[in-house]
Each structure stands twice: as C-alpha cells, then as structure tokens.
Amino acid sequence: MIPFGTTKGGDDVHAITLAAHSLSVTILTLGAILQDVRLDGIAHRLTVGSDHVSDYDGAMKYHGCVVAPVANRLKDASAKVDGQLHQFEANLDGRHTLHSGSDAAQGQVWQIDEATPKHLILSHDMPHGRGGFPGNRTITARFEILSGPALRLTLTTTTDRTTIANATNHSYWNLDGSADFNGHQLQITAPSYLPVDDISTLVTGDVRDVAATPYDFREMTTLMAGHPALDHTFCVATNRRDLTTCLTLKGRNGVTMTVATTEAGMHVYDGRDTGYAGLAIEAQGWPDAPNNASFPSIQITPDAPAVQITEWRF
C-alpha cells in the first residue's frame, strides 16, 4: 500500500497492487477504482487510468470505479422500494438519476479490510437515506487474482432493511494502449438488448431481439467508434445466475479478454465523452429495473443480500 494523493475534500487515497500469474492490478481506496491492469510482456496498461487523484475528482470520475448502490439510470429520479416511493438526486438532465447521484460510493474513500499479494477486500458503509436510498448498507469489493490469469471481483451489498442494489465496475478497456478502441473486436452472447431514448439514454422498457440490428454482436465484430453509438445493456440472461462467460474483447495486437459474470446485463458504453479512449464494460442488472416490472428485480433484503461476481480472463 502506497500513498496515491489527496482528494479535493482532503481525504488521503492509497494504491494497492496485487500481482500473480503474470497479471498485476492496482486498486485505489478512492471508489475502489481499478486504476491499472497489466500483463507480463505487454508494455502498456489495459485499462484507461490516471496517476493523479485530481483526474478522478473530475472528468474521470467514473473510470474504473465501483458504482454503487445502483448503477445506470433511474427514471424521474424515483423508484418504489417495498411499495414506498423514494426520491433520489436528479443529477441527469435535471430530471433523472445517474449512478446514484453525487454522494454515491464511487466518490468515497473505502476502508481496507484485508490485503495480501493476491487479493484485496475494500468496504464502504452507506447510511440510511444517503442519496435517498433506504437502508443502512455495507458494500464490499473483493478483488482476487486467479490462475489463467484472471481477475475476479465480488461485490456484496448487505442491508438492514429492504432496498435496491445494482453495483458494477466501470472500467474502460483498451487492449492496445492506443488513442482509441478502433479496430478492437467485440463479441457478446446476448440474443436481445434494451433500446434507449434519444434524450437521456433511458431504457424504454422494451426488450428487442438483436437480429438485423447494429447491436448483434453474437459473432466477432470489428468496432469503429460511434458506429453504432453504444450506451446499451445487452441481455445476457433474464436473472442472476452462476458465473457465465458472456463477452470477448480482442485488441488489434492480439491481447484478448473474456468477461464472465453472474449478472443478467452487460452494459457497453463507447466512451464518446472521453474521445472513445476505451470501451466501458459494466456487468450489472438491467437498468431502471424498479420502474419496469418485467425486468429482473434488483431489490434486496437483510436476508437476501446482493452478491455480484465478475471475472476478467486474459
């Protein structure tokens, strides 16, 4: 563990590096950010990251972090939880909620619970009512390097009352270390995806077959930034399930990453706001689930916490 810097709020941030099986990763206590991922023999990092805390306080605030308690968008900054309507911060277009608002877990310094050369456990406590979300909650992120090599992240959210939870890692991937992800190849097993509107990128509530659309990635497809525009959830399952490989990303230089997850959705964002420098791949439940009764539920209770596992294999 080494000092990394200080946030604009005056909180000290530390960096912890794990290394094993030809893979090394660096995680920050700020937002449980996956700041760097490297393979032996490859000169560049595989994620888009920064060596300066100030960047994560600003334009890179979602790069590599654990977004929690609820990733993605909530329409009209509200949702019913256990039959009661809750209002959240309208930080998207002055009307909707994006990534749980400005006081979410990704902007906080997390506690180090356990650290070894191969694994790290960070946690963050969120009090009842923060951001409008019910429940005193603890969010735990366990990073561990496995043979393969692979990096596994287990996100666990516990609560003392019924609430909603849909955490995710928000890393941007560029396997070439290049200026953008053009020329990467992408494959996603999803037979369907969630269409979004043209205003706030909110899901419409429809579930659409990928066949005969630009969003059919069931075969390896070469990517060109902006064609198609990507900020969509791909429906790799209809409920949380056992860890299953869902996505493959291959760089022009031959570096390949497969992603396995327990989650029903694989959200892919093209990073247009950062010049397409990397492809955000976010394993999560379907967005805005509380406001779409047909979507898999993200409600949790004291007896049924959320346990979300994602594994990146190289």
Q: Which pLDDT tens digit goes with each residue over 230-266?
A: 999 999 999 999 999 999 999 999 999 999 999 999 9
What pLDDT digit, counting tens, does each position of 21-49 carry?
A: 999 999 999 999 999 999 999 999 999 99
Q: What are phi and psi of 177, to 5 degrees?
A: 65, 25
Chain mean pLDDT for the chain: 97
How far apart are alpha carbons 137 and 118 in whole angstroms? 27
What is the mean pLDDT of the segment spanning 200-207? 97
8-state DSSP, 64: T
How far apart are alpha carbons 32 and 14 in whole angstroms? 10
Query: Apex CA 115: angle with CA 114 and CA 116, to 5°?
Result: 135
How far apart are alpha carbons 192 and 237 in whole angstroms? 9
pLDDT score of 311: 98
Our count of domains for the chain comes to 1
Q: What are phi and psi of 56, to 5 degrees?
A: -75, -20
pLDDT score of 94: 96
The model scores a pTM over 0.75: yes
pLDDT score of 106: 98
pLDDT score of 162: 98
Task: Dihedral sign for Cα 257, 260, 263, 264, please.
Answer: positive
Q: On the CB side of 263, how many CA atoms lie within 13 Å of its CA?
A: 33
51 Cβ partners below 8 Å, 6+ apart? none
What pLDDT digit, counting tens, does each position of 282-298 carry?
A: 999 999 999 999 999 99
For the chain, the 3-state helix, strand and coil shares in percent, each to the nearest 5, are 5, 45, 50
Q: What is the DSSP string of 215-257?
A: T--SS-EE-BTTBS--EEEEES-SS--S-EEEEEEE-TTS-EE
Q: Which amino acid is at 264?
A: A
pLDDT score of 306: 98
Asked whether 233 and 265 are in contact (CB, 8 A), the reply is yes
Identify the bridge partners of residue 17 per DSSP, sorted by sequence position: 26
pLDDT score of 205: 97
Q: Cα 225 vs. chain centroid, distance in angstroms?
A: 20
Residue with tokens 């005193």: 136
Q: What is the CATH number of the domain that holds 54?
A: 2.70.98.10
pLDDT score of 5: 96
How far apart are alpha carbons 124 and 112 in whole angstroms? 9
How far apart are alpha carbons 288 and 271 in whole angstroms? 21
What pLDDT digit, counting tens, does each position of 82-119 carry?
A: 999 999 999 999 999 999 999 999 999 999 999 999 99
Range of the structural domain that residue 64 is part of: 2-313
How far apart are alpha carbons 145 and 18 in whole angstroms? 7
Alpha helices in 50-180 (DSSP H): 53-57
pLDDT score of 193: 98
8-state DSSP, 62: T
